[in-house]
């Protein structure tokens, strides 16, 4: 019972953080059906430095929702992800500055910091596994 309540609290926290998202310029939206979430998988934070190889967050071939937050950045973050509902399937999104974005991914999600080793991006993410179709 407590696990179910904790999962709901995490989803509520994630949804409320999405409400604080600031988007500048051109934005694309994805329709996300949160009733299709099967399980909470992980929650983590980290710092990715420029000139480092991309950090792999998802690489299992399963469908996920990733709620990704840039906490601090002195460089752009580039996210590589595989879409399961669109064309082209392999996509890259550049995130400039702090903010929150939600991604639906088909088993691949990687983060790269653009710039040299003096640049970095501090991030946090929540990873949810989606139900099998």
In our burial notation (b when 16+ CB lie closer than 10 A, e otherwise), range 87-113 reads: eeeebeeebeebbbbbbbbbebbbbbb
The predicted pLDDT at position 29 comes to 57
Say yes or no: domain 2-21+37-130 is CATH 2.60.120.10.
yes
Count of other CB atoms within 10 angstroms of residue 83? 16
φ, ψ at 7 (rounded to 5°): -65, -45
Per-residue pLDDT of the chain (133 residues; tens, 9 = 90+): 555 555 555 555 554 444 444 434 444 556 778 889 999 999 999 999 999 999 999 999 899 999 999 999 999 999 999 988 767 889 999 999 999 999 999 989 999 999 999 999 999 999 999 998 7
pLDDT of 14 reads 52
Parse the chain into domains and list their residue ranges: 2-21+37-130
């Amino acid at each position: 019972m407590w696990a179910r309540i904790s999962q709901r609290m995490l989803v509520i926290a994630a949804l409320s953080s999405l409400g604080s998202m600031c988007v500048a310029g051109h934005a694309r939206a994805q329709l996300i059906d949160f009733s299709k979430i099967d399980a909470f998988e992980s929650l983590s934070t980290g710092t990715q430095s420029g000139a480092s190889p991309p950090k792999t967050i998802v690489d299992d071939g399963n469908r996920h929702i990733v709620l990704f937050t840039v906490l601090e950045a002195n460089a752009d973050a580039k996210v590589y992800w595989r879409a399961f509902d669109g064309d082209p399937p392999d996509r890259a999104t550049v995130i400039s500055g702090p903010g929150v974005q939600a991604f639906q991914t088909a088993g691949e999600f990687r983060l790269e910091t653009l710039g040299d080793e003096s640049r970095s991006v501090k991030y946090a993410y929540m990873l949810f596994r989606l139900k099998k179709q």
